[in-house]
Amino acid sequence: MKEAYELLHPIDRWLRTERMPHIWCPGCGIGATIHAWVRALERVGIEKDKVVYVSGIGCCGRGSGYLDVDGFHTTHGRAIPFAVGLKLAKPELCVTVISGDGDLFAIGGNHFIHACRRNNDLLVICVNNFIYGMTGGQLAPTTPHGGYSTTSPYGNIEHPFNTPHLADAAGAVYVARWTSVHVRELEMSIAEALRMKGFRYIEVLSPCPVNFGRRNNFPEPDDMAKWFAKSSIIRHGANTSEVAIEIGKPIILGNFVKREEKPTYYELLKKLEEMRRGR
């Protein structure tokens, strides 16, 4: 165990510092997002040996290598099924999925909506950078209408997912959106979600200077962060059908949905097993 004088950072005890420096690009928001998550875990008082970080393929996947907690870097789009199985086998664990928009809403979209519907006891944090950041900058399900990518060189003609609205409609008990710039608000939102049970969803808008930014008039590493800071409006309790993201229009942030908690999938499964055994 590290002595207090050896700690180099407020969350140093949560990190595998021997694996630094990290591989994330300058200006990326993943580090700030993970920092907010870890600070929220400390705020709530969750023991480190009860924490599990799960991700799919993508830039967020490297997080499990840098964090000194149990982690799973799963196959593409399958982070939620892995997390569901883990939580069913070890319901006492605090399981968080932190993955990208492509991973969670393209190949993993079906898993997302059914985990919401079933009320699996998970916290899912989507680091949404509007593009496939790791694999070359392809169009993602969240790329804004008109946005440029390697596979939409003339502008995106598709309408993107409004992910908070999708989570809300599918039954998530908690839905919020912040950016990696709004770290304190994000930390408090994550802490609020960690105190709940059921399927909880937080979208974190994150800069991707290399693959989204340079193709969409944000050429400098901090340009997207400045866009978030300048354009964001906090509107708690906003109707999620009205928070779609369009470049050039205000970005609506806030804690949108907090439903009365309902039985989780694990609790219902346990009850079913007890009925089967005639208890």
Would 4 be classed as within a structural domain? no
Q: Is 20 inside any structural domain?
A: no
CA distances from 255 to 160, 178, 187 (A): 21, 8, 12
**pLDDT at residue 95 is higher than 50:** yes
Number of domains the chain contains:
1
Q: Which domain holds residue 251?
A: 25-276
**Structure token digits, residue 224:** 């997207």
Write the CA distances from 277 to 90, 91, 266, 271, integer angstroms.
Answer: 21, 20, 17, 10
pLDDT score, position 11: 86
- pLDDT of residue 273 exceeding 90: no
**pLDDT computed for residue 6 by the predictor:** 58
Q: Is 5 contained in some domain?
A: no
Question: pLDDT tens for residues 121-179?
Answer: 999 999 999 999 888 889 999 999 999 999 999 999 999 999 999 999 999 999 999 99
Q: Which two tokens stand for residue 180?
A: 């990696």
8 Å CB contact between 238 and 250 = no
Read off the pLDDT of residues 184-239 as tens digits, 9 standing for 90 and up: 999 999 999 999 999 999 999 999 999 999 999 998 999 999 999 999 999 999 99
Residue in this structure with the two tokens 């140093």, named with its chain if needed: 12
Check pLDDT > 80 for residue 279. Answer: no
Tell me the pairing of strands 51-55 and 94-100: parallel
| Mean of pLDDT values over 7-26 | 85
**pLDDT value of residue 4:** 52
* The pairing of beta strand 200-205 with beta strand 123-128: parallel
Cis bond upstream, residue 144 (ω within 30): no
Neighbours of 217 (CB within 10 A): 10
Please give the residue that has the higher pLDDT: either 275 or 225.
Answer: 225
Residue 116, domain member (yes or no): yes
| Helical H segments across 23-179, by residue range | 30-44, 63-66, 79-89, 101-102, 109-118, 163-170
Q: Average pLDDT of 261-265?
A: 93
Residue 86 has a pLDDT of 95
Whether 17 is in a domain gets the answer no
CATH classification at residue 202: 3.40.50.970
Asked if the structure places residue 222 within a domain, the reply is yes
Query: What's the pLDDT score for residue 149?
Result: 94
Is residue 9 in some structural domain?
Answer: no
Kindly state the average pLDDT of the residues 91-106: 96
* Distance (Å, whole) CA 270 – CA 159: 40
Residue-averaged pLDDT of the chain: 93
User: Is 160 within the bounds of a domain?
Assistant: yes
